[in-house]
Amino acid sequence: MISADRMAAVDRNAEALGVPRKQLMESSGNAIAREVREIAEPGEKIVVVAGRGNNGGDAFVAVRFLEEYDVTVHLLGRAETIGTDIARENWEALRQSEYDATEVTDSRNLDLPGCDLVVDAMLGTGVTGALREPEATAAEQINDSDAAVLAVDVPSGINADTGEADGTAVEADRVVTFHDTKPGLADLDCDVTVTDIGIPSGAEKFVGPGDLHGVRGDVDGRAFVIGGGPYTGAPALAGQAALRAGADLSFVSAPDTVAGEIQGYAEDLIVQPYEGDRLTPEQVDGLVETAESYDDTVVLGPGLGNADETIEAAVQFLESFSGRAVVDADALPAVPDLDTDATLVCTPNRKELAELGGPKADDLREVTDEIETLAGDLGHVVLAKGATDVISDGERTRVVRTGNTGMKVGGTGDVLAGIVAGLFGTADAFDSACVGSYVNGRAGDLLYDEYGEGLLASDMLETVPRAIWGDDDE
Ligand SMILES: NC(=O)C1=CN([C@@H]2O[C@H](COP(=O)(O)OP(=O)(O)OC[C@H]3O[C@@H](n4cnc5c(N)ncnc54)[C@H](O)[C@@H]3O)[C@@H](O)[C@H]2O)[C@@H](O)CC1
Ligand SMILES: [K+]
Query: What ipTM was estimated for this complex?
Result: 0.96
Ligand 1 midpoint to CA 219 (Å): 26
The pLDDT value recorded for residue 401 is 96
Average pLDDT per block of 10 residues along the chain, 474 residues long: 95 96 98 97 97 98 98 96 97 95 88 92 95 95 96 98 96 98 95 98 97 84 97 98 97 98 98 97 97 96 96 97 96 93 97 95 92 97 97 98 96 98 95 98 97 98 96 77
Task: Indicate whether residue 128 lines ligand 1 (CB < 6 A).
Answer: yes
- Identity (one letter) of the amino acid at 327? V
pTM over 0.90: yes
Rounded CA separation 75/56 (Å) = 8
58 touches ligand 1 (CB under 6 Å): yes
Q: What is the pLDDT of residue 129?
A: 93
- In the 3-class helix/strand/coil scheme, how is the chain assigned residue by residue? CCCHHHHHHHHHHHHHCCCCHHHHHHHHHHHHHHHHHHHCCCCCEEEEEECCCHHHHHHHHHHHCCCCCEEEEEEECCHHHCCCHHHHHHHHHHHCCCCEEEEECCHHHCCCCCCCEEEEECCCCCCCCCCCCCHHHHHHHHHHCCCEEEEECCCCCECCCCCCECCCCCCCCEEEEECCCCHHHCCCCCEEEEECCCCCCHHHHECCHHHHHHHCCCCCCEEEEECCCCCCHHHHHHHHHHHHCCCCEEEEEEEHHHHHHHHHHCCCCEEEEECCCCCCHHHHHHHHHHHHHCCCEEEECCCCCCCHHHHHHHHHHHHHCCCEEEEEHHHHHHCCCCCCCCEEEEECCHHHHHHCCCCCCCCHHHHHHHHHHHHHHHCCEEEECCCCEEEECCCCEEEECCCCHHHHCCCHHHHHHHHHHHHHCCCCHHHHHHHHHHHHHHHHHHHHHHHHHHCCHHHHHHHHHHHHHCCCCC
> Could you tell which of 55, 128, 158 is best to mutate to test the pocket of ligand 1, judged by most ligand atoms within 8 Å of the CB?
55
Q: What is the pLDDT of residue 249?
A: 97
The Å distance, Cα 420 to ligand 1 centre, comes to 32
Residue 307 is labelled as binding a ligand = no
Task: Give backbone dihedrals phi and psi of 318, rounded to 5 degrees, phi first.
Answer: -65, -30
Asked whether residue 8 is marked as a ligand-binding residue, the answer is no
Beta bridge partners of 74: 49, 102
Atom of ligand 1 nearest to the CA of 179: 3
- Residues 6 or more apart from 53 whose CB is under 8 A from it? 83, 84, 87, 123, 124, 126
Confirm if 424 and 324 have CB atoms less than 8 A apart. Answer: yes
For residue 216, what pLDDT is reported?
84
Give residue 112's pLDDT. Answer: 86
One CATH from 1.10.10.10, 3.40.50.300, 3.40.50.10260, 3.40.50.1820 for 4-203? 3.40.50.10260
- Kindly state if the Cβ of 54 falls inside 6 Å of ligand 1: yes
pLDDT value, residue 110: 85
In angstroms, the Cα distances linking 17 to 209, 232, 279, 364, 431 are: 10, 40, 46, 21, 20
209-469: CATH class: alpha beta
Q: Would you say the CB of residue 336 lies under 6 angstroms from ligand 1?
A: no
Every domain of the chain and the residues it spans: 4-203, 209-469
Residue nearest to atom 43 of ligand 1 (CA): 25
In angstroms, the CA 114 to CA 418 distance is: 64
pLDDT at 15: 96
397 is an annotated ligand-binding site residue: no
